[in-house]
Amino acid sequence: MTRKKVKLAFIVNDSARKATFKKRKKGLMKKVSELSTLCGIDACAIVYSPYDPQPEVWPSPMGVQRVLAKFRRMPELEQSKKMVNQESFLRQRILKAKDQLKKQRKDNREKEMTQLMFQYLSAGKIMHNISMVDLNDLAWLIDQNLKDINRRIEVLTKNAQSQTQVAAPAVTDVAAKIEDKGQGSHSGQGFDINMDLMQKQNWFMNLMNNGGGGNETMPFGDVNHQNGFWPNPFFH
């Protein structure tokens, strides 16, 4: 079937519009009824249609009259406060859609970087033609993963002291794989999981600046870094 997401616009086809009207009016009335019952509040709805001279109302003519009276009793100015009108309603929805787009982009970017990360891990060699921006994000992602692993290690360490010796080396092995194959052989050293963020950033920058030769690159160099803040790069 592959039902499409409805375009929120007047339905031109007459019979389709009538069918939709019937279904949605019914759904709407049910919603009003539920809202009123669940939350114990006064509410009413009035719906006019070309299919019937009478409006359809909820909960009843009397109920509507009562709520209307309450509404009319209020000064005009008060009525306008806190109200949901069509314009502000649409603005809200647009804003929400934008937020969702932003979030989606962030998620996509994160997936992209994860894929890149696994390419590094499985290919076992340095990829060329990767932009500075990608490397930056990739570094951030790896850092996040290491943090997660460290948190996990802490938990395990607390739960069973004997497991510390098993869990910790597992982490350094994974990181070392990038380092060893890509850089030549610093194999004895492993990846310092406590190395600060700046150092890791620099490692990636050096990797980048030294092109593909890479044999003399020191992965854990100590060159200049601009500031002490490493923002989440996925918030573009």
Partner DNA sequence: TATTCTATCTATAAACT
Partner DNA sequence: TAGTTTATAGATAGAAT
Stretch that binds its own copies, among 84-92, 117-125, 159-167, 187-195 (CB under 8 A): 84-92
Among 9, 10, 12, 15, which residue interacts with DNA (rule: CB under 7 A)? Answer: 15
Among 3, 4, 38, 222, which residue interacts with its own copies (rule: CB under 8 A)? Answer: 38
155 scored as a contact of DNA (CB under 7 A): no
45 scored as a contact of its own copies (CB under 8 A): yes
Q: Which does 2 bind (CB under 5 to 8 A by kind): its own copies, DNA, none?
A: DNA
Q: Are 167 and 153 in contact (CB under 8 A)?
A: yes
Q: What is the DSSP code string of 64-104?
A: HHHHHHHHHTS-HHHHHTT---HHHHHHHHHHHHHHHHHHH
95 scored as a contact of its own copies (CB under 8 A): no
Q: Distance between CA 213 and CA 206 in Å, rounded?
A: 12
Least Cβ distance, residue 26 to DNA (angstroms): 6
Stretch that binds DNA, among 1-9, 115-123, 172-180, 187-195 (CB under 7 A): 1-9
Q: Considering only residues 96-125, where is the footprint of DNA by CB under 7 A?
A: 103
71 scored as a contact of its own copies (CB under 8 A): yes
Least Cβ distance, residue 203 to DNA (angstroms): 30
Question: Residue 58: phi, psi to the nearest 5?
Answer: -140, 140
Question: Residue 53: phi, psi to the nearest 5?
Answer: -70, -25
What residues contact 137, with CB distance under 8 A and at least 6 apart?
Answer: 109, 113, 233, 234
Q: Distance between CA 94 and CA 111 in Å, rounded?
A: 26
Radius of gyration of the chain (CA): 31
Decide whether 90 or 155 has the Cβ nearer to its own copies.
Answer: 90
Q: Are 32 and 44 in contact (CB under 8 A)?
A: yes
Least Cβ distance, residue 22 to its own copies (angstroms): 9
Decide whether 4 or 72 has the Cβ nearer to DNA.
Answer: 4
Q: Considering only residues 26-55, where is the footprint of DNA by CB under 7 A?
A: 26-28, 30-31, 34, 38
- 227 to each of 33, 83, 213, 231, how far by Cα in Å? 58, 47, 28, 11
Among 35, 97, 166, 170, which residue interacts with its own copies (rule: CB under 8 A)? Answer: 35
Least Cβ distance, residue 100 to its own copies (angstroms): 15
Tell me the residue type at 189.
Answer: Q
Q: Which residues form the interface with DNA (CB under 7 A)? A: 1-6, 14-16, 18-20, 22-24, 26-28, 30-31, 34, 38, 103
